[in-house]
Amino acid sequence: MINKLRKLSIWQIGTIITLVVVVLFLIFNTKYTNDHFNSLSTRIADLSTQLDNIGIKLSSTTADLSKNITQTHDSLNDALNQQKQNSAVIAQQLGNYQQQVSTVSSTVSTLQKLSNTDQQLLEKYSKVFFLNEYYAPAKLTPIPGTYEYSETKQLMLQNDVWTHLNKLIDDAKKENTTLYVYSAYRSFNEQSALKKEYKIIYGAGTANSFSADQGYSEHQLGTTIDLITPGLGGVIDGFDTTPAYQWMLNNAYRYGFILSYPKNNTFYVYEPWHWRFVGIKLATYLHNQGKNFYDLDQRTIDTYLVNFFDP
């Protein structure tokens, strides 16, 4: 019985102990779970607060960033606009410089051309102005014998002037007009000798009227010639009665030649055979305007010096 009791009580005790353990476990577990839950809630609340803070910080940072980006964008735009303006200013300045450089180089080339052109070539020589006795042309070239009226003396002209005269005589020939060079370059000494000879033959007064030093000094330039045509008996007087003279009046300007002393000029006696090279541009201007070289003022004439040898 005791054993039965003991057995029962062992069952009971076991059951009780089991119940107690279960109850204790439940109690403990509930408490633990509550504590754990509480702890988790606290942590979640903390995290939530932190998240809020991060959110606030993030939004304020984003606003700052956005503001910075806008400012940077504006600054870039300003810089770009400034750059565009600067570029336009620089481009304009460059354009101006280029224009100045071009003007300067054109002026330099004109000056170079002028510095290489003999200033005397377009001077007026008259009773008042005459060529220096020491003047001699830069480059003289002999005129081929077939172009000379008399081959007893070798005639000379400035290189480039002969080129123009050569063409004139050849073209005239094609139009059945024969022209010969009767006289060309004469040095100062040759001129003096000629003048003395005339004075002896004609007397000083008469010689001065047709052979003054200053008048003939155009021959000293090496740009001036006396022309003759067949049928005059070897004398240049009467050249203006020939068709050759008419041909010269109509065409000489196209080769750069002008009649220095036309009829009724106040600078020297009428010399229809005496032609001076002044360049095609000036000769053409004079022809078209119906003007004479010696009637122009020297300043106007000088503006044509740069074009003197232009073809």
Q: Which residues bind Zn ion (CB under 5 A)?
A: 226, 274
Choice between 177 and 211, CB closer to Zn ion: 211
Nearest distance from C-beta of residue 185 to Zn ion, angstroms: 11
Q: Residue 10 has what DSSP assignment?
A: H
> 189 Cβ partners below 8 Å, 6+ apart?
none
Nearest distance from C-beta of residue 210 to Zn ion, angstroms: 10
How many angstroms separate the CA atoms of 106 and 156, rounded?
34
Kindly report the backbone phi and psi dihedral angles of residue 257, in degrees, each rounded to the nearest multiple of 5, phi listed first. -105, 145
Name 183's bridge partners: 226
Nearest distance from C-beta of residue 112 to Zn ion, angstroms: 32
Nearest distance from C-beta of residue 213 to Zn ion, angstroms: 13
Choice between 236 and 306, CB closer to Zn ion: 236
Nearest distance from C-beta of residue 278 to Zn ion, angstroms: 15
Q: CB of 232 within 8 A of CB of 273?
A: no
Give the total residue count for the chain: 311
Choice between 59 and 266, CB closer to Zn ion: 266
Using DSSP, state whether 266 is helix, strand or coil: coil
How many angstroms separate the CA atoms of 131 and 6, rounded?
170
> 308 Cβ partners below 8 Å, 6+ apart?
117, 121, 122, 278, 279, 282
How many angstroms separate the CA atoms of 245 and 258, rounded?
12
Choice between 148 and 226, CB closer to Zn ion: 226
Task: State the virtual CA torsion across 231, 237, 241, 246 in degrees, nearest 10.
Answer: 100
Choice between 124 and 274, CB closer to Zn ion: 274
Nearest distance from C-beta of residue 274 to Zn ion, angstroms: 4
Q: Which residue is nearest to Zn ion (CB)?
A: 274
Choice between 210 and 285, CB closer to Zn ion: 210
